[in-house]
Chains A and B, each alone.
Chain A
Amino acid sequence: MAKFEPVLSKNFDKPNAHKLSVYKSGGGYAAAEKVIKEMAPDDVVERVKESGLRGRGGAGFPCGVKWTFLPADRETTYLCVNADESEPGTFCNRFLMENDPHQLLEGILIAGHATRTTVAYIYMRVEFHEQFHILQKALDEAYDAGLFGKNIFGTDFSMECYIHRGAGAYVCGEETGLIESLEGKRGWPRIKPPFPAIEGAFSKPTVVNNVETLCCLPHIFERGVDWFQSLGTENSKGPKLYTISGPVKRPGCYEAPLGITCRELIFGDDFGQGMRDGLGVKGCIPGGLSVGVLTEEELDCVLDFDDVRNYGLLGLGTAGAIVIPDNADIRQVLMNVARFYSHESCGQCTQCREGTNWAYKVASRIARGAGRISDLDLMVDITTNMGMMPGLSICGLPDGAAFPMRTIVQKFRAEFEDHIRRQPPGVVEETLRKTNAAIYELPILGRA
């Protein structure tokens, strides 16, 4: 196989890649110009559908198909660019925005034309300060060059583009939470249907797409659908930015065609280059925290949209791998995961709010050395009964919470049991008494 030539990340090392002149000198905006001048919106949608591009934001929904859900007789369409990237372990969108902002803007132009968008909002998490200033400067430059605004490329296509900064809430990455937040409300996900394509931002048809999804578009139109189809595995086409963090030699963001294995990502010379300080791998969470964990024996899992399911994972997620070294205490890992979701649950749905909180309480009890064997079954029980899968919640956050917690407990059960067995006798009662003195010292009230 010929060596893969990076496309999404091809400008990352160029000096001043964020400048319009540099981007244009590498053939930038030519694809957008061609698409906007020569193609009808519906043909663009058709072409993206043919390419098999699937959303990179986590759910992996086919991008072109999503666009066809928009009602045909709409007047206003909004495009929301999901740059909220707050999934732990994921940072590829950050790379795209800080190193090649114009690639994203070109993608927005193409998507905007295809969906006949009137206004595009880039919903960016507030912790991206540098990235905000870089992208805003790039946007200013693009506006000055007439790439946004009225009559783009001299056609009658007009579109505005603004950056909307979030304020620190994971759930605003969920598409309807994002829309609520955009409207100036708390980021409470909406009950679907109606789906955003019918009734989204300001009750108008709205498309929500991830940054990386949009960044693929210019390349599809520059190099053609066949090129895109030639990369990846059967149902997962195209290039993908994989990110890797944890104690590997070279944490970072690396591009590859969809379908490398987790082992390659950790040990490959082009990727993580193996573990630091002679550490071994205990496990790996291969796709952003929400997908679940792979043990060291399962590292040959192919990271595309299909194979991950054979390993009991939720999906590919965002392909942001977190490597857990063999010296890590699995109880701490579980507690950290549980804390994240209990902190980020928006609190609308009882199952999610209570489930994530109880899971955190149980996990911290285990981590403090006061766990019980039955806690492990309890964790599995909680996590199978709180998400969208059994139909108990509005959004996918509790499923994202359930998969890592459940797979950690199930796949590392022996280790948990070992820890629990080694707890000195009586410690459970002792810890409970200490942490919850009020209950133990209550006077017996007698019959009310």
Chain B
Amino acid sequence: MGWKTLDRITPKHDTEAGPILNEAVRDKIRSFFPRYETKRAVLLPALHIVQDALGHVSYQAMAEIAEVLEIPPSAVLDTLTFYTHFWDHDKGKKVAVVCRSLSCQLMGADAVLDECKKELGIDEHGTTEDGSFSLVTEECLAACDYAPCVLINEKMHKCVKPEQVAKLLKDAKNAEIEPERSDLFDAPAAGAAPAPSEKNNGDEAVASNDDDDVLGKTSDVDEMRDS
């Protein structure tokens, strides 16, 4: 887990451009309200929804989630930073997760990870320059019978051999899964998003860069997580 301090005095990014979360996303978050006794309990679903829709959860997005859930923005930050799944800075379109726990290590996960690093030209927690891939390691993915395993977005790749890694990473369909999908948690269909949010996608990337400057590089946190 990581700890962060937030600079509240330096002005944040331009809010003139309008909100980051469009109505479809907000409605989706609100549709979870009846499930729980409190609105705060919708926070994890909300973070999933926003991350699915925008790729990551920027500080502005956190503030807007807080607004929808009627909780302080700090509560959102607090929860978000606890969980390894959420990104507060841009990640690649695909995230390759290499398992590093015992069964996988015994079956050769180290070699697979090295091969991934070499193939993508990035280190752990890095993102390729074209933004297509991020690489992370995680603890046991509960697929030890298929060790060593690599999860790319939603798809689990099983019994991966180092020599298969190059091909695997190039495969266009390496993030596709078969089962019939349930609509829950899926990002609202991209085409259906109203215009303002699309305009915002660009701004938002800039905004998160600003945030990074203000807040220090997030890689510090990753290092802390690792040590």
Contacts and interface: CB of A to CB of B under 8 A. Distances in A.
Interface of A: 85-91, 93-94, 119, 125-130, 132-134, 136-137, 140, 160, 162-170, 181-187, 201-202, 204, 243-247, 251-253, 285, 289, 320, 322-325, 328, 332-333, 336-337, 339-340, 343-344, 346-347
Interface string B187-227: 00000000000000000000000000000000000000110
Contacts of B74: none
A127 B41 contact: no
A322 B79 contact: no
Nearest to A136: B182
6 tightest Cβ-Cβ pairs between the two chains A and B: A184-B43, A167-B83, A186-B82, A245-B144, A136-B182, A129-B154
B179 A130 contact: yes
A336 B102 contact: yes
B216 to A, nearest CB: 20
User: Which of A126, A182, A245, A247 counts the most B-chain CB atoms under 10 A from its CB?
Assistant: A245
Nearest to B101: A88
Given A166-B44, A186-B82, A202-B37, A137 B101 contact: no
B166 interface: no
B142 A347 contact: no
Main secondary structure of the interface of A (DSSP, over half): mixed
A333 B102 contact: yes
B48 A185 contact: no
Nearest to A328: B106
B1 A247 contact: no
A344 B142 CA distance: 15
Contacts of A136: 182, 184
Given A140-B182, A162-B35, A167-B84, A86 B140 contact: yes
Nearest to A165: B48
Interface in B131-153: 138-147, 151, 153
A245 B103 CA distance: 6
B79 A186 contact: yes
Contacts of B138: 127, 168
B85 interface: yes
B181 interface: yes
> What size tier do the contact residues of chain B reach?
35 or more
Contacts of B106: 246-247, 322-325, 328, 333
Given A167-B44, A167-B86, A186-B79, A133 B143 contact: no
A164 B45 CA distance: 7
Interface string B76-112: 0011001111100000000001001111011100000
Contacts of A339: 100
Nearest to B186: A133
B40 interface: yes
Contacts of A246: 103, 106-107, 144, 147
Given A168-B83, A168-B85, A86 B142 contact: yes
Among B71, B106, B146, B225, chain A packs the most CB atoms within 10 A around the CB of B106
B145 A183 contact: no
A88 B149 CA distance: 13
Contacts of A320: 144
15 contacts: A86-B142, A94-B142, A127-B142, A128-B142, A129-B154, A130-B177, A132-B182, A167-B84, A168-B138, A169-B83, A181-B44, A251-B147, A324-B106, A325-B106, A340-B101
B116 interface: no
B147 to A, nearest CB: 6
A330 to B, nearest CB: 12
Given A140-B182, A247-B106, A324-B106, A91 B145 contact: yes
Most chain A beta-carbon contacts within 10 A, residue among B35, B138, B153: B35
B156 interface: yes
B179 A133 contact: yes
Given A127-B151, A129-B177, A247-B107, A182 B142 contact: no
A282 to B, nearest CB: 10
Nearest to B154: A129
Contacts of A201: 37
Given A130-B179, A137-B179, A169-B82, A243 B105 contact: no
Given A133-B179, A133-B182, A187-B82, A252 B38 contact: no
Contact of A322 (B40, B82, B144, B178): B144
A297 to B, nearest CB: 20
B177 A182 contact: no
B102 A322 contact: yes
Nearest to B182: A136
Contact of B139 (A88, A93, A164, A325): A88
Contact of A88 (B35, B86, B144): B144
